[in-house]
């Protein structure tokens, strides 16, 4: 199996993120692997992952919602920074992944096998034309069953580095400094000074790994305590900077106001920490279903199997708003 993995060539198709683009940097690389390779990768993933059945999206979203609500209820300062890793899956170094495997006591034979699977060759395929073989030194393959687990092990190292820094938000005795799901990283601190320490530590770790942040897609939210009213308010004046090791230039992260919103794992949060459900988007989806040339019973099945589960996902995270639920229910019933 080791020899098969070592000399197996994998194809790479580039799917454009925007219609009509010819810029390869704006395309998503998708791995085209053989059935035997995918089967082996899936078997290894199951053995390494064991029985980790946690719902990471629900856990992270509900935690962020609870932190923002706690800050407002206890009039306690909180600073949040959502980070966007530039080309995260494409640039993660293999040396870091292998080191993380060894730290998690993976046996040397499995580490060697995974190393040979990572450092194989691939080729680019654009409009049916196959390019020359390319030796892979960095990154994990998208659409490979093993890739999410390997990338998560790399993220675990960042989590450990940030937890060792010290700054965090005290949530009823539990120190929380980072929420992580795949490449979505959210830093949490109880002061602006603490957030600066976390940002510097994160940037230093990424620089050591040859990675960087996409400043334009990062966001910060700072809720400060008013000395007069002793209540928290969204403070857009709190500014945070991150440095790029490639250019040695410091950039300011865009800060959110009270009227702004930001996306977090499929949910829309506002500046006060409330989760918003866009009723106009629901009406638009119902309108799209109506325009589809299907039978009435097929349209009802489409709403039941696709639209309703999306709404259940949104309502399962935050505290249920009965008025919003009744409004959405009436919209769906009216659409049917």
Residues 258-268: pLDDT tens digits? 888 888 888 88
Q: Decide: helix, strand or coil at residue 261.
A: strand
Side-chain-side CA neighbours of 153 within 13 Å: the count stands at 23
CA-wise closest residue to 32 among 8, 2, 7, 4: 8
Q: Supply the pLDDT for residue 113.
A: 83
φ, ψ (nearest 5 deg) of residue 205 = -65, -45
CA-wise closest residue to 158 among 198, 93, 202: 202
Q: Residue 232's Cα: distance from chain center in Å? A: 28
Q: Supply the pLDDT for residue 4.
A: 46
Q: Please tell me the least confidently modeled range out of 35-44, 60-69, 244-253, 300-309.
A: 35-44
The two three-digit tokens of residue 29, written as one number: 């690389």
Q: Supply the pLDDT for residue 311.
A: 81
Q: Which residues touch 80 (CB under 8 Å, ≥6 apart)? A: 64, 67, 68, 186, 187, 188, 220, 221, 222
Q: What is the DSSP string of 67-100?
A: HHHHHHHTT--EEEEEEEBTTHHHH-BHHHHHHH
Q: Supply the pLDDT for residue 233.
A: 86
In this prediction the pTM is 0.80
Side-chain-side CA neighbours of 261 within 13 Å: the count stands at 10
DSSP 138: B
Q: Please tell me the least confidently modeled range out of 109-113, 243-247, 260-264, 293-297.
A: 243-247
Q: Decide: helix, strand or coil at residue 297.
A: helix
Q: Please tell me the least confidently modeled range out of 7-11, 121-125, 157-161, 191-195.
A: 7-11
Residues 270-296 pLDDT 10s: 877 778 888 888 888 888 988 889 898
């Amino acid at each position: 199996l080791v020899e098969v993995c070592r000399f197996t060539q994998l194809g790479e198709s580039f799917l454009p993120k925007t219609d009509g683009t010819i810029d390869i940097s704006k395309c998503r690389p998708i791995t085209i692997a053989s059935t035997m390779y995918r089967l082996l990768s899936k078997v290894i993933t199951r053995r390494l992952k064991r029985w980790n059945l946690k719902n990471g999206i629900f856990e992270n979203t509900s935690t962020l919602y609870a932190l923002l609500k706690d800050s407002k209820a206890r009039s306690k300062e909180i600073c949040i920074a959502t980070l966007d890793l530039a080309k995260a899956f494409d640039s993660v170094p293999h040396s870091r992944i292998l080191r993380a495997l060894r730290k998690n006591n993976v046996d040397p034979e499995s580490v060697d096998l995974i190393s040979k699977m990572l450092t194989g060759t691939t080729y680019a395929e654009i409009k049916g034309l196959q390019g020359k073989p390319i030796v892979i030194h960095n990154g994990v393959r998208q659409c490979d069953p093993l890739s999410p687990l390997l990338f998560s092990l790399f993220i675990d190292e960042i989590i450990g580095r940030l937890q060792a820094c010290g700054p965090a938000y005290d949530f009823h005795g539990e120190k929380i400094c980072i929420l992580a799901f795949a490449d979505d990283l959210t830093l949490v601190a109880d002061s602006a000074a603490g957030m600066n320490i976390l940002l510097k530590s994160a940037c230093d770790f990424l620089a050591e790994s040859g990675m960087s942040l996409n400043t334009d897609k990062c966001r910060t939210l700072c809720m400060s305590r008013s000395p007069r009213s002793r209540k928290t308010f969204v403070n857009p004046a709190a500014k945070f900077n991150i440095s790029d090791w490639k250019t040695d230039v410091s950039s300011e992260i865009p800060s959110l106001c009270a009227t702004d919103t930001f996306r977090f794992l499929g949910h829309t949060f506002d500046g006060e920490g409330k989760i918003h459900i866009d009723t106009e988007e629901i009406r638009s989806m119902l309108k799209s279903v109506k325009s589809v040339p299907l039978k009435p019973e097929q349209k009802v099945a489409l709403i039941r199997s696709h639209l309703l589960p999306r709404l259940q996902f949104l309502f399962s995270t935050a505290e249920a708003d009965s008025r919003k639920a009744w409004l959405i229910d009436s919209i769906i019933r009216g659409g049917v």
